Structure 1
């Protein structure tokens, strides 16, 4: 007969390994099981292989959830500063890249190795690859039936992540277990994902592919699931549509069938360039070609495309009527376009939706319906903005769960 564990954690990713290390070092007998041959693959490939492991400014405002207050307790008890201390204790060199985003100088593998070392410090048992065949509750114990035998535990922690990047073994297993035990699941969909467009909606993609431009973007609406958003970030034009930080951020709020709105000149005031209004009323520019004027504000290829869209390409500014100028200004500062869809789970960085926070205790991550059944990390209906916030949720939710265990 197997010994009884204090906790069995299903999933050896960011949230699972971190939770296991904390609980183990608090003196608990912890077992981690994972179906993968290699642990922490999503950590390893994140941030271009350098892992954007947290964000200096991570707080409740950086997360989407049907209950936006749910994250407050966990984030307050384990803020970014605490994880940074852990990184520093392992002498992992890191740098701030953009808006508080922290990356390893060397390799994301250092974070994986650190988490495994933390588990070793807590005498955590890790078994993989192991296939979970069933999970059942028997009295005040949990029975985990695996292809390597049956394990018993006082608590079970579901930390199998979400559906993005199926190539590395992503699955809906945590959501299936939640449904099995009567918890509600908010329908999942891809988030932090590029958006696609039809040729009719956004012509000239091939000619513009590869351009990266700072923009302002609005997506969603007050009445939609997660409300509306505005971000000032870079957009990347691709052969399939739009990507880059601005689009990834906006995709989490985007509602199918609705447009996104882009201000292509949003960076002007920030960079100290000539204000848009001044350009559109500057008589000294009257003899210059429209595309030449626009090229002082944006890449030449994009300037030409916008001039052509308004039938102003090759025409001097003085030849543009007041109506032409107003149409062009509206196009540049309030460009509304409907995406055809997202590029799906293969290209998504995280998952929207998941186990309903109404069915979980925000201080312990435990089901309100079943003693000892916890859900942490990405499988919960908590999704962070781009820039290290989703990893911070993994650490914070894992810490809260470990404390409860």
Structure 2
């Protein structure tokens, strides 16, 4: 972090060293709704501080990367989307469904960048381009709750702390989406896939509460709860103008009636009865970042400014293979030699599924992973060492260093806030809430 952010963090931690510190016990004194409390079961005992100027500069680079990713079919494949999707290893079924709502142009700027800070700069690991963004319910909302704690409010005023408000930016984006079909104040439905509310209902209701605080009428349910009248979707008897989509394509394909549930939503979107936000996650495929990295030095593809942005934020990344292709022997041997420097990722997965860090496995496992991945669609990426955040246990006062994975949320307004997922050293460094109970979330304050 910058010297400025480090000074503020050190001051916060110094205060937390006292047993009766209001900052040390701020998390226990948060005044939040039952909905939010249920959605945030695993929180780090303190917020994280970031230099706003540094963070916003990185956000501008993320806008550039988004524009570059969504322009790859034109830049690398002469506008031939078929060649683009083949290069990514997308099959016919996935492509047809992903692109059903895309239209002629790129999707709107909306996504979450997963990021490490390597001690000098933010580095982009993954760019989740699409609507199913975990964690946005606490961006802006959790800092507001912290600022209701007198000790935090006093500290924030003394050190000039602020925060970015995801709620207002998201509300504006959804209102603008509704205007495209003539909805003045749109009714928004946050929709999970079949059975999704059982697992993620607390988080989705927390997003609904966040939007309600922005005076957006919002309902929450599953895609199977929709009813259609003259082609328009209704939820709980109320007509829906905008769908904030939290059902993923993979889960819909796994559901027995998933494609049948999608079809009336597709038609309603195509006929202007509803807007699906956002229409596709085709550009979220991790292979797009590998393409950027591979061509980052090509002056015929990217301008000097674009190449500089790629170099600033993106670690070395390469496609290892795609479905139906044979092993890439040359690339595999390179990755075997560089095992301690690389991480393996399936291109189409999410939530850390299938990620293998070279340093954490033996040579035979690493080679087997590379060989299998070259047939199924994957990439390799240079490991970025995450920064450590010092955390003081509120009960014991003991200090520990936690690895931090940063999230930067993007809307059509640009950078709209962020958060941090953290894990104590000692185990895997794959930081995901899905399958690691040691991971904790927290919010960001800017300075």
What TM-score do you get using the length of structure 2 for normalisation? 0.24
Highest Rg: 1 or 2?
1
Which one has the bigger helix percentage? Answer: 2
